[in-house]
Chains A and B, each alone.
Chain A
Amino acid sequence: MLSLVLLPSYSYSEPYYYGATGNAASTSLSWGMPSVLPDVAGLDINGLIYRYTTVKNAEDDMLVHVGNHNSTGDGYTFRETDDWSGVPSNTIVKSFALSNIPSDNWGTGFIEVEGEGTVEDAVVIYSYRVDRCYDPQSDPSCSGYVEPIPDIPEVEVYDALEDESVLEAIDADTKFKYDEEGNIIKDEEEEEEDTRIEMGLTASANALTLLRTQGQDSIIIAINQQTNINMYYNAKINGGTMNDAAELQDGTIPDNKKALRNNLAQQILHEQMVDMQYNK
């Protein structure tokens, strides 16, 4: 009981998924593995099943080789030979468990007949395993996954104050005079000339401003005239009269004796004050 409590807990996720190919020998007794296996990284083959039917005379010698060349073509990754010599035709089924041989090691597959006889209805199926963490970056849940850092382009900062062309263009004289519109006054004559023009424009602008005020008033009046206020006058609020429903719970309201006493006290004080006027 104690050991059960102390058992460490951890989670484990299977990094593999499994599958099987279609019939590699469906169209031919020789096949290329790229056309049979899915195009994924980290795939290895863990099993093979084949079945075929021989057509032969019982007395004939016949060998049937089923296998795959290795990737370099100078050997075999898998090879099985069935000796049908002296036995009648039949269908053979064989399955093999393989030790997860990487797909890169598998070359061309084949069913070859040596001797007299033929092979029909051949079926070759590979079962495979795919390591989905073969590239750890393919899934954030894979061990070894590193958070990708985006490529930050190197930006060359342009400093205009270090640009010789800009420095040459900058006027060293900073004592400028500006008119009201922010334009630089280049010389005295121009300043005087602008001033005169400005005064003239100001006078005319004032006159125009007066006219413009009137114009604005007339515009506002015209807008107001266009405003339909009848809808406000004709508006009705649904409702009625809520009558006062005052009700006195108690039948009579007794006199406040304390107030009476207070009034009498006030009266006494008043009389004393009046008497003081007459030195009583």
Chain B
Amino acid sequence: MKYLVTALSLFALPALANTPIIGNVEAKCVIQTTKDGVYGNPIASKLSTTPADGGVLPVIRFDVSIADSYTANITHPTSFSSSPTLNDTVAWTGSTSVTQTSVSGMSAYEAAKVVVDNTTIFNLTLAGSTWFSTASSATYGASKPFAGGVYTALVQASCIAK
């Protein structure tokens, strides 16, 4: 009987609980690489993604679900992320443009883009998808031929909230 009383007193203790509150925020701006770029080598001292030079332009897609809240900041490369050893300077050029849109009005992004150094900024005023392609060119110093090997450079794309 003593044991029974003890057990009942245990169950009579007040209950405590920690209840979590979970919030799930979906990304309103998503960046996808639609196509990787390829450097062409039209002359020994030049690497270029331009199709005329045998290259392939990389394509990046920005999916924005709310209008006029983000800017797309895309920076063309100014250095190789991996390459053979280079002992001279490399001259970099590049540009980014709108190639496809999911809304016709997004075509205005191209005319309204702002270029700051190596970064091109697009004001994403409309909801939908926008495809950007980036051209990149690297010329070795004093027209010297690039050393044989694999060269890799990165285009940096970011979605910045206004």
Residues of A within 8 A of B (CB): 51, 54, 58, 64, 82-84, 86-94
Q: How far is the CA of A265 from the CA of B129 in the complex (A)?
A: 128
Shortest beta-carbon distance, B146 to chain A, in Å? 33
When each residue 34-67 of chain B gets 1 if its CB lies under 8 Å from chain A and 0 otherwise, what string results? 0000000000000000000000000000000000
Shortest 4 CB-CB contacts between residues of A and residues of B: A90-B107, A87-B107, A82-B104, A91-B100
Give complex CA distance A58, B109 in Å.
Answer: 12
Question: Does B115 touch A at the CB level, under 8 Å?
Answer: no
Chain B residue at minimal CB-CB distance from A90:
B107
Contact with A along B89-121 (1 / 0, CB 8 A): 000000000111111111110110000000000
Let me know if B131 is at the binding interface, CB within 8 A: yes
Minimal Cβ-Cβ distance residue in B for A87: B107
- Chain B residue, CB-CB nearest to A82: B104
Q: Are A83 and B110 in contact (CB under 8 A)?
A: no
For window 113-149 of chain B, which residues contact chain A by CB distance below 8 Å? 129, 131
User: Are B111 and A58 touching (Cβ within 8 A)?
Assistant: yes
Interface bracket on B: 10 to 19
Interchain nearest-CB distance for B135 vs A (Å)? 17
Query: Which residue of B has the minimal Cβ distance to A56?
Result: B107
Q: Is the CB of A83 within 8 A of B105?
A: yes
Say whether A90 contacts B106, CB under 8 Å.
yes
Q: Is the CB of A88 within 8 A of B110?
A: yes
Considering the complex, give the chain A residue whose CB is closest to the CB of B100. Answer: A91
- Whether B129 pairs with A90 at a CB distance below 8 angstroms is no
What chain A residues lie within 8 Å of B108 (beta carbons)? 86-88
Closest to A91 in B: B100
Contacts of B99 on A, CB cut-off 8 Å?
90-91
Contact A92 B110 (CB under 8 A): no
Of the candidates B102, B107, B111, which one forms a contact with A94 in the assembled complex, judged by CB atoms under 8 Å apart? B102
Q: List the B side residues contacting A90 at CB < 8 Å.
A: 98-101, 104, 106-107, 110
Sample of 13 more A-B contacts, CB < 8 Å, known A82-B104, A87-B104, A92-B101: A64-B104, A83-B105, A84-B104, A87-B107, A87-B108, A90-B99, A90-B101, A90-B106, A90-B110, A91-B99, A91-B100, A91-B101, A92-B104
Residue in A closest to B110 when the chains form the complex, CB atoms: A88
Expressed in whole angstroms, the Cα–Cα distance for A54 and B75 within the complex equals 27
**Given contacts A93-B129, A93-B131, A87 and B105 within 8 Å (CB-CB):** yes
Q: Once bound together, how far apart are the Cα atoms of A227 and B16, in whole Å?
A: 115
> Which single residue of chain B is at the shortest CB-CB distance from A62?
B104
Q: CA–CA, A91 to B102, complex, Å?
A: 9
B104 adjacent to A93 (CB under 8 Å): no
